[in-house]
Amino acid sequence: MRRLSSVDVNFDEQLNSLLAFETVNDAALIHTVDQIIHDVRTHGNAHVLKLTQQFDQHPAQTFAELELTQAALKAAFEGLDPTVRTALELAAARIRSFHTAQKQDGWQYTDELGNVLGQKVTPLDRVGIYVPGGKASYPSSVLMNAIPAQVAGVTEIIMVVPAPKGDLNELVLAAAYLSGVHRVLTIGGAQAVAALAYGTETIPKVDKITGPGNRYVAVAKRAVFGQVGIDMIAGPSEILVYAEGQNNPDWLAMDLLSQAEHDEIAQSIFVTTDASLLEQVAASVEKLLPTLPRVEIARTSTNDRGALILVKDRTEALALINRVAPEHLELCVDDPDSLLPEIRHAGAIFMGRHTPEAIGDYCAGPNHVLPTSGTARFSSPLGVYDFQKRSSIIHCSPTGSQSLAQAADILAQQEGLDAHARSARYRVGGQS
Amino acid sequence: MRRLSSVDVNFDEQLNSLLAFETVNDAALIHTVDQIIHDVRTHGNAHVLKLTQQFDQHPAQTFAELELTQAALKAAFEGLDPTVRTALELAAARIRSFHTAQKQDGWQYTDELGNVLGQKVTPLDRVGIYVPGGKASYPSSVLMNAIPAQVAGVTEIIMVVPAPKGDLNELVLAAAYLSGVHRVLTIGGAQAVAALAYGTETIPKVDKITGPGNRYVAVAKRAVFGQVGIDMIAGPSEILVYAEGQNNPDWLAMDLLSQAEHDEIAQSIFVTTDASLLEQVAASVEKLLPTLPRVEIARTSTNDRGALILVKDRTEALALINRVAPEHLELCVDDPDSLLPEIRHAGAIFMGRHTPEAIGDYCAGPNHVLPTSGTARFSSPLGVYDFQKRSSIIHCSPTGSQSLAQAADILAQQEGLDAHARSARYRVGGQS
């Protein structure tokens, strides 16, 4: 793994280069996706079926065959190995419990003039959840996307998951069953995003689409943003592990490798004030790498995008953390609570040495859909709030409206909006 | 104004056609904007200055001349006519008060295993606020964008506002002063969005850009989305006024016209169960239109995009409201509270006959930046929450992590992620 130190003369440049990652902006890809969206809007189910046969080699002959029944989901759940079933139920229960604590309520108050002001909170009517198929088909992602929607009170949750050659992951279906998903369609790619965003003969259009996907899915989500809401354009996953004091270097190395095994472009960064610990972790990474089934992916990720960074002190460490704004941040120190107030930007913060990111990925309760590539600077973990929205409420009484109508009149005139001014003025004294 | 009735055989089609509005998707425009963004990233201030001279005919010879001082903002505020100043101060105080009530706090709890879970809420570091110049330069928009950022605790608020020929609206500067804006640059268009998103020699890159703009600005915001956060891609403004019982048709007509005067593509929809009131409102619109300074804009808007819709009963009215998901909804009825629980989708709800939209536009307190074009189905008014973001917190104790690490181990194995499984397993019994 590459080593950096904050005393390097070109440390800032090295850091910028390490963190550089641009979201998809490939003109040919964008054109292809735009065409798929256009064709799905024009031809509906027939085109979705055609692309599903073509790209996924799905054996379905009719569109109806692409939809699963609730009975199939239930059967998948009931067919689970009891140990796995218990673990999945634990995860679902904990995710539901955490997200229930996150649910937001409306509020209102009466001002000193007697006017009522507030906000009403309403769940979305219908959402689409994208679940990748094939090698990256993760049941945990089903729980993490569907349960917050269910807790929010979304009326209809429609899941799409591609089934290459018709093959499905039974645990994904079981997770859908546990999360209250209403409909499951075995479609994927830009065609699934287009079908959810614009609707087809049998798929109603949804209000929001969440969930990770490949480049086609990312570009399609960006293209339909505005027509529907989207969660985010996900980049590669990253972790920053900060350690001080007594640590087991194997634990730290495995936490870094758990990120690296996701993807060749995943990023694992280790930060410490302790040069000796840095070398121990480097050695552990080298020792453990060859023992991993996904060794090639993890090696490419650690070689190309990983880094071990030596800093002088906590002040430098905190500045670096906030500069990186990591998706996952581990604080493997004695006193993580003393660092917490200074952490401004991170998707999720794993406190202390007994909170590996893997626990958060599956079953701690908080969401594992987190802002990547530094977007924790301005965005949040997926949550119930992504499936709720607000409407402002303004209720003026005949007397309460008087001074407001007068101020509105004055300001509207300044903006040259005469109808606004007169509309307000009508309410002053009951007539214009 | 066109008249529709829910008993028309093709009512649904007519309604779809009335509401049809696609966000900007003009390939040539997108290409132009992409080029501007590329050039600003490459050449920085020099290119922004060049485009500002070219597009805005701004007389500045150096980039530094494009920045205003705090003294200039203060002078603008102090130079206001006292009546206008008082109205602006009232508006700012009420907007601040409402948004303070909206501020969110972090939370955490300890679960039954002794693990701490929660979310930390942090303001954004730096935001850019886009304020249109020229004819649509509204001081109220400055208050509505900057005050929520200020209330959230954003460290640096940078405002951009184009100054055609160097001309500025003093009230816009006064509003910036009142809202705690830190820096003001007299630049606009895609070049201003690019400068904010990527930074230049003297403009630091921001974390989020909010505020309305023309087509170039909308396309540029979409292009930089991901690099920075954005509020929304705003469409034309709309209102839906629902009325029953004793109403003054002139009040209702002027409320419709206050929307229509904004823009030729603004949309005003009147809905009632009362055929006679519908005709009275139609007559009032015709009577009042010629008296407006902005008669041509308002006439085009009402002719092309306006509608008077007769419905059978409240059930139909509510279904129609939720179908439209209007940006602004007025409920001009005796008992708006009885309708409120059934309203699922609206940006802001103006309750009763003494709450014209104009009061909400300026000084009621709630935000006037609202989801347009039916996006109230999935999005919310601009608020303090747009300038705050969350980080999840997970803190497992050595014993509290045991059952979680075991479940994570099982689920990670099912997903084929061995390093995840082992990272969790290390924490079971303290070693693997």
Q: Provide, as residue numbers in chain A, all residues whose Cβ is less than 8 Å from the Cβ of B98.
A: 117
Q: Does B376 contact A391 at a Cβ distance shorter than 8 Å?
A: yes
H or E element: which one contains B251? helix B249-260
Model confidence at A85: pLDDT above 50: yes
Nearest to B394 among A298, A355, A389 (CB): A355
Residue B137 pLDDT: 76
Residues of the binding site of B for Zn(2+): 259, 262, 361, 420
Catalytic residues of B: 327-328
Alpha-carbon gap, residue A350 to A328, rounded angstroms: 7
Looking at this predicted complex, what is its ipTM? 0.95
Q: Does B255 contact A423 at a Cβ distance shorter than 8 Å?
A: yes
Question: Residues A26-81: pLDDT tens digits?
Answer: 788 989 999 999 999 999 999 999 999 999 999 999 999 999 999 999 999 999 99
Least confident segment among A30-39, A145-154, B213-222: B213-222
Burial of A295 (0-12, 13-18, 19+ CB in 10 A): middle
| pLDDT confidence band for B432 (50 / 70 / 90) | very low
List every span in chain A annotated with CATH 3.40.50.1980.
3-21+235-364, 27-105+124-230
Query: Is A327 assigned a catalytic role?
Result: yes
Q: How many CB atoms lie within 10 A of CB A170?
A: 17
Model confidence at B300: pLDDT above 80: yes
DSSP, residue by residue, A389-414: EEEEEEE--TTTHHHHHHHHHHHHHH
Tell which of A210, A270, A289, A359 to mutate to test the B interface (max B CBs under 10 Å).
A359
Residue A259 pLDDT: 95
Q: Provide, as residue numbers in chain A, all residues whose Cβ is less than 8 Å from the Cβ of B357.
A: 423
Nearest to B391 among A293, A356, A376 (CB): A376
DSSP, residue by residue, B210-224: E----HHHHHHHHHH
What rounded mean pLDDT belongs to chain A?
A: 95
CATH pick for B235-369 out of 3.20.20.80, 3.40.30.10, 1.10.443.10, 3.40.50.1980: 3.40.50.1980
Strand arrangement, sheet containing B67-68? B67-68, B183-185, B156-160, B126-130, B208-210, B229-230
User: What fold does the segment set A3-21+235-364 form as a domain?
Assistant: Rossmann fold (3.40.50)
Residue A432 pLDDT: 41
Residue A66 contacts residue A185 (beta carbons within 8 Å): yes
Residue of chain A whose alpha carbon sits nearest to that of B30: A27
Tell which of B417, B425, B427 to mutate to test the A interface (max A CBs under 10 Å).
B417
Residue B20 pLDDT: 85
Q: Does B222 contact A225 at a Cβ distance shorter than 8 Å?
A: yes
Q: Read off the tokens for B125.
A: 């570091």
- Tell me what the mean pLDDT of segment B44-69 comes to: 96
List every span in chain B annotated with CATH 3.40.50.1980.
27-230, 235-369
Residue B21 pLDDT: 75
Model confidence at A24: pLDDT above 60: no
Q: Within B57-214, where are the H helices?
A: 70-78, 82-102, 139-152, 170-178, 189-198
| pLDDT confidence band for A136 (50 / 70 / 90) | low
Question: Residues B243-271: pLDDT tens digits?
Answer: 999 999 999 999 999 999 998 999 999 99
The one-letter amino acid code at B16 reads N
Alpha-carbon gap, residue B231 to A311, rounded angstroms: 36
Model confidence at A247: pLDDT above 70: yes
Residue A375 contacts residue B409 (beta carbons within 8 Å): no
| pLDDT confidence band for B348 (50 / 70 / 90) | very high
Alpha-carbon gap, residue B250 to A431, rounded angstroms: 10
Residues of the binding site of A for Zn(2+): 259, 262, 361, 420
Question: Residues A280-297: pLDDT tens digits?
Answer: 999 999 999 999 999 999
Question: Residues A89-119: pLDDT tens digits?
Answer: 999 999 999 999 999 999 999 999 999 999 9
Distances (CA, A) of B136 to B35, B161, B201, B223: 26, 11, 29, 23
Q: Provide, as residue numbers in chain A, all residues whose Cβ is less than 8 Å from the Cβ of B233.
A: 225-226
Distances (CA, A) of B189 to A178, B59, B63, B163: 48, 17, 16, 11
- Phi/psi at A374 (5° precision): 80, 0
Residues 6+ apart with CB under 8 A from B140: A411, A415, B91, B175, B361, B362, B368
Model confidence at A334: pLDDT above 80: yes
Nearest to A418 among B83, B294, B412 (CB): B294
Distances (CA, A) of B372 to B259, B327, B348, B382, B407: 13, 5, 11, 12, 45
Model confidence at A123: pLDDT above 60: yes
Closest by CA position to A428, among listed B90, B140, A410: A410
The one-letter amino acid code at B253 reads A
Residue A237 pLDDT: 87
Residue B327 contacts residue B370 (beta carbons within 8 Å): yes
Residue B205 pLDDT: 96
Cβ pairs bridging A and B (under 8 Å): 383
| pLDDT confidence band for A308 (50 / 70 / 90) | very high
What rounded mean pLDDT belongs to chain B?
A: 95
Least confident segment among A25-29, B53-57, B409-413: A25-29
End-to-end CA distance of chain A: 75
CATH pick for A27-105+124-230 out of 3.40.50.300, 3.40.50.2300, 3.40.50.1980, 3.30.70.1060: 3.40.50.1980
Question: Residues B150-168: pLDDT tens digits?
Answer: 999 999 999 999 999 999 9
Closest by CA position to A244, among listed A172, A166, A310, A322: A310
Q: Provide, as residue numbers in chain B, all residues whose Cβ is less than 8 Å from the Cβ of A117.
A: 98, 364-366
Distance (Å) from the C-alpha of residue A110 to the closest C-alpha of chain B? 11
Tell which of A108, A390, A403 to mutate to test the B interface (max B CBs under 10 Å).
A390
Residue A22 pLDDT: 66
User: What fold does the segment set B27-230 form as a domain?
Assistant: Rossmann fold (3.40.50)
